[in-house]
Amino acid sequence: MVRFSATRYDEIAQRLGYRFIDKALLRHALTHASTRNASDDYERLEFLGDRVLGLVIAEELFRLNPDQREGHMAARHSQLVRGETCAEAGRALGLGEFLVMGASERSKGLALNGTVMGDVVEALIGGIYLDGGLEAARGFILSNWKPMMEKPSGHEKDAKTFLQEWALGRALPIPAYRVVKREGPEHAPVFDVAVDVAGHLAAEGTGKSKRIAEQEAASHFLQREKIRQ
């Protein structure tokens, strides 16, 4: 089993802003499967931490945005709980130096890999939840997610990106685009494109290219459903 020195535990606690009572949970959260000890890696804690993160972020968005519609909060939630955002939090904490993994994997730079870093952060959240309860996990999340939550919201994003994140935030399939009609000469075509979102009527858009028409279709859908005006 992986072990850290007392000094190492202190260093990690200072970095996290949380001191584990059950140090085995911390070891599990920082241990990659490449150590080939399936009972000692972070994957089970990652599963739990992902759910705790989702709950805390959803509650915070609900509290901070009393006038926002569900659709906007769902899209914002999707941004804040995705792996890239977790990895950003992990890099800011400098967690890469504490990860336990096989020598070959570390030499390949896996300790700084975005997917691995995101998974480790979720595992740490799961570990903190088991060790100190929901309030401890909430404190860790809100402290480390504050910079991301203060960034401009999804209103800065183009319509297609916003619609995709909204759909994923509701556990829907990625919106599908299809050309309904093409008119005009070869050198100046005009496209009619429809976007299909599960459980909703299609919305259409028109443009001088498929890309423009897709953006128009996504924008019309968001406006019609009163998700983004």
118 and 54, same domain (yes or no):
yes
The CATH number assigned to the domain holding 167 equals 3.30.160.20
Question: Which of 133, 153, 173 represents a domain boundary (last residue)?
Answer: 153
Greater pLDDT, 169 or 178: 178
Whether residue 192 lies inside any domain: the answer is yes
Q: Look at the chain and report how many structural domains it folds into.
A: 2
> Does the structure show a pLDDT above 90 at 19?
yes
Question: Which of 153, 186, 213 represents a domain boundary (last residue)?
Answer: 153
* Domain with 147 in it: 6-153
141 and 216, same domain (yes or no):
no
Whether residue 53 lies inside any domain: the answer is yes
141 and 170, same domain (yes or no):
no
Highest mean pLDDT among 2-11, 63-72, 177-186, 191-200: 191-200
Whether residue 120 lies inside any domain: the answer is yes
Chain segment 136-162, per-residue pLDDT in tens: 999 999 999 988 888 766 455 788 888
Whether residue 57 lies inside any domain: the answer is yes
pTM for the model stands at: 0.69
Instruction: Assess contact for 221 and 199: CB atoms under 8 A.
Output: no
The CATH number assigned to the domain holding 80 equals 1.10.1520.10
123 and 74, same domain (yes or no):
yes
213 and 148, same domain (yes or no):
no
Q: Which residues are catalytic?
A: 50, 122
69 and 182, same domain (yes or no):
no
Distances (CA, A) of 175 to 93, 121, 166: 35, 29, 10
Whether residue 229 lies inside any domain: the answer is no
How far is Cα 150 from Cα 144, in angstroms, rounded to an integer?
11
> Does the structure show a pLDDT above 60 at 98?
yes
In 10 A of CB 120, how many CB atoms? 28
Instruction: Assess contact for 5 and 13: CB atoms under 8 A.
Output: no
Whether residue 1 lies inside any domain: the answer is no
∠ CA 85-98-34 to the nearest 5 degrees? 85
Question: Which of 131, 153, 175 represents a domain boundary (last residue)?
Answer: 153
